[in-house]
Chains A and B, each alone.
Chain A
Amino acid sequence: MSEERGIEKIRTYEEINQKIKSGDAVVLTADEFIKAVEESGLEKAAKEVDVVTTGTFGAMCSSGAFINFGHSEPPIKMFKCWLNDVPAYKGLAAVDCYIGATAMSETKGFEYGGGDVIEDLVSGKEIELRAEAYGTDCYPRRSIETTLTINDLNQAILLNPRNAYERYNAATNSTDKILYTYMGTLLPHYGNITYCGAGQLSPLYKDKGFETIGIGTRIFLGGGIGYIIGEGTQHNPQNQFGTIMVRGDLKQMNARYLRGATYNKYGTTLYVGVGIPIPIINERVAASAALRDDEIFTNILDYGVPSRSRPTVKKASYAELKSGKVQINQKEIPSSSLSSNKVAKEIALTLKNWIEQGTFLLNRPAELIPNHREFKPLEVKGKEPKVRDVMTREIIVGKPNDDIKDVARILIAKGVDHLPIVDNEGKLIGIITSWDLAKAVAQDKRQLHEIMTLKVVSAKEDESIDTVIRRMEQHNISGVPVVDQSDHIIGILTTDDISRKLVRRIIA
């Protein structure tokens, strides 16, 4: 992009707002704008149209609300709290909490979650509040049980760290079992395809250069007015997986656009309605706003592979996905959406009406959200067990001149399979296994040095268990002595130790 991002070449925000106030603004939904461009060309449509409205209504798990309950008499510093049995986050001040969409009821589980609490609050229903505290000099109360509605709350602020994915991968299932995922129900043997995202109505795809979307952008959120407060978590705009963080007052929202939901055997979530007005400030923005379903692509991934990198089965356009059938290997597979195309259209239309009525003005963002972000996976560090965490430290060792029969007796009594042989300074010089001993007794050998193995495979205490396991496999052995830098023996690691201790760790 040679020109400055966000340049207001065709019109400025001030000009647009002037026209909105005087009722002269030309506002089209993204669907309508696409038709206008098809009829009169991009350049002309961009000149004529001031604002393009968008919409999406889908499950957005990274959603939730900050709530302030107000102070009771006597007051309480809530340490744990539940709304209709759904736990809310209480690592905040005395009577503030955050209720997250995916938190689940401790009594109803999958049937009811944080998303449902938010929907019930917005619909004005009564909610049961239960809280526990340890009691302090300033906050003596130790528990509370009461009911409340949204009107009783000081603040109820929807604050969603990640909403409105620009587009999303679609899903299918290659296995022979039905799968229940966050992408819905997937029938076996590529029986169906599910997708989400609104395609040509998708708010972030309609300004994919992020030239008008930024901190302070006023938007439709849950049926009320909300604001973008920054990039969303996992924002990955260069791959068209941009996201936004949003905030809005729950008290002015509408449960039609905020619906608690459950994905069977996966968990609870919240369907959130988001609509963003795209001011046509330059031709690049206009071109992005004019993108059609058949120009917006996504990958259909195989959710039968439970890995971070699921194989792509096919690249498909939103036009193909929305048609209800997708061709895979000469077979026609039924496809259907998880987000609501109907409500997405409704949101774009509602936002258009608000602007036309002059009640909704556009904001120039205080700062555009980034159009490039490194996308990092999580590397698992530190937790992987080391040899020192698993090895046995109380070891029995032998000396080269020890009598074989004496040693055999001790090993049998203690149930030990590996006997490291050390010199007078405790340095490892050989090893004997119970199998070697049995053979030696049969052959009437006398002293350990006659039968010990001199080339010993050993391990260091800071090596990773996985590395040593591979070494044991390569040498086809079931135990290794552990030595320090100067070859002094400090322990022994056997396959028994590994299975016993690691299994216990997993169970714990």
Chain B
Amino acid sequence: MKLKLIYSRENLGKPVLSDVISKTNLPINILEAKITLNTGEMLIDVPAVGEKLKEVSNLFQKAGLVVKEITRTIEIDREKCISCGACVSPCPVRAITQDLNWDVDFDEQKCVGCGICVDACPVRAIRML
């Protein structure tokens, strides 16, 4: 599951993420990070579900962060898709690839929901869920 963490000024300096990683022993991956002087936003991938995920989420909240679950992802309409590839190289995390027959594969786990592929598809075969 992907989580968006919103840092406020007070907790920007604290090593919240590394605390959570050492407490839960989960290999949490940072997908995107935007930090300014006063606030910060981070998109992370937590390889966990159910209770474990809740635990991670609670730890961040206790440290004063706002936590949002990111379920936004995309869907490719196979009927419309012409297997061109216009969505493939623009995907910043390589969530869309082409197989040997040039059919597109979509890896939902990697997708960060940026929407670049939606705009890149010339035949409007991709929509945001």
Contact = CB atoms under 8 A, between A and B. Distances in A.
B77 interface: no
Interface in B80-109: 82-90, 92, 94, 97-98, 101-103
Given A184-B120, A340-B102, A342-B103, A259 B82 contact: yes
B94 to A, nearest CB: 7
B78 interface: no
B123 interface: yes
A342 B82 CA distance: 8
B35 interface: no
B83 A185 contact: no
Interface in A173-230: 178, 180, 184-187, 191-194
Contacts of A192: 89-90
Contacts of B90: 184-187, 191-192, 194, 336
A336 B88 contact: yes
Contact of B92 (A191, A193, A345): A191
Given A334-B88, A336-B88, A337-B85, A324 B98 contact: yes
Interface SS of chain A: strand
A261 B85 CA distance: 14
Contacts of A178: 116
A340 B82 contact: yes
B46 to A, nearest CB: 26
B87 to A, nearest CB: 8
B84 A338 contact: yes
Chain B interface extent, by class: 20 to 34
Given A185-B119, A263-B122, A264-B120, A338 B92 contact: no
Given A180-B119, A338-B122, A185 B102 contact: no
Interface SS of chain B: loop
B5 to A, nearest CB: 25
A341 B86 CA distance: 12
Nearest to A334: B89
Contact of A262 (B83, B84, B89, B122): B122
A57 interface: yes
A184 B83 contact: no
Contacts of B122: 59, 184, 261-263, 269, 271, 338
Chain A interface extent, by class: 20 to 34
A184 B86 contact: yes
Contacts of B94: 334
B124 interface: yes
B82 A343 contact: yes
A29 B1 CA distance: 46
A406 to B, nearest CB: 63
Interface string A307-344: 00000000000000000100000000011111111110
A57 B82 contact: yes
Contacts of A194: 86, 89-90
Nearest to B82: A340
A187 B92 contact: yes
B120 A271 contact: no
Interface string A265-296: 00001010000000000000000000000000
Contacts of A57: 82
B121 to A, nearest CB: 9
B92 A337 contact: no
Contacts of B123: 259-261, 271
B74 to A, nearest CB: 14
Most chain B beta carbons < 10 A, residue from A260, A335, A338: A338
Nearest to B120: A185
A271 B81 CA distance: 12
Contact of A336 (B82, B98, B116, B119): B98
Nearest to B84: A340
A193 B102 contact: no
Interface string B15-27: 0000000000000
22 contacts: A58-B84, A185-B90, A192-B89, A194-B89, A259-B82, A260-B123, A263-B122, A269-B122, A334-B89, A334-B94, A335-B89, A336-B87, A336-B88, A336-B89, A336-B90, A338-B86, A339-B84, A340-B84, A340-B85, A341-B85, A342-B83, A343-B82
Interface of B: 82-90, 92, 94, 97-98, 101-103, 116, 119-120, 122-124
Smallest CB-CB A-B distances: 8 pairs: A336-B88, A192-B89, A336-B89, A342-B102, A261-B122, A336-B85, A342-B83, A185-B90
Given A59-B122, A271-B122, A336-B98, 7 more contacts: A191-B90, A262-B124, A264-B120, A271-B123, A337-B85, A341-B102, A342-B102
